[in-house]
């Protein structure tokens, strides 16, 4: 894939811990699956609807995939679409911007 950026949806507690620690090791689903789930800009809305329905105070971190190099793998997931997965902790330095979810 050629996309430069992908997105991680975080709860407020996860974002607070991420900033404090300087690294994100994963949400419970990430830890269970063995990688950190990300979404492309196109996939983000559906990801929020499917996995974060009715949750408020979510933060979306824009992740620079180029900064992660070969730790990123594009793998088939929901509906056979390719999703970016990180097979390593996510360093805060790879986050280019953050915003609140709509």
Query: Tens digits of per-residue pLDDT, 56-72?
Result: 899 999 999 999 999 99
13-50: buried (b, 16+ CB within 10 Å) or exposed (e) per residue?
Answer: ebbeebeeeeebebbeebeeeebbbbbbeebbeebbee
Which residue, 92, 73, 87, 84, is CA-closest to 21? 92
0.85 exceeded by pTM: yes
Which residue, 24, 56, 68, 62, is CA-closest to 41? 62
Is the Cα torsion angle 20, 100, 92, 50 positive or negative in sign? positive
Mean pLDDT over all residues of the chain?
A: 94
Q: Write the CATH number of the domain with boundaries 5-100.
A: 3.20.170.20
Residue-wise pLDDT for 3-12, tens only, equals 899 999 999 9
């Amino acid at each position: 894939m050629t996309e430069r950026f992908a997105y991680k949806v975080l709860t407020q507690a996860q974002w607070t811990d991420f900033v404090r620690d300087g690294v994100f090791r994963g949400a419970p689903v990430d830890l269970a699956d063995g990688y950190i789930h990300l979404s492309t800009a196109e996939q983000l809305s559906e990801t929020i609807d499917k996995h974060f329905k009715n949750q408020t105070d979510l933060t979306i971190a824009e992740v620079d995939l180029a900064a992660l190099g070969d730790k990123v793998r594009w793998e088939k997931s929901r509906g056979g679409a390719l999703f970016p997965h990180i097979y390593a902790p996510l360093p805060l330095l790879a986050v280019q911007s953050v915003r609140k979810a709509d």
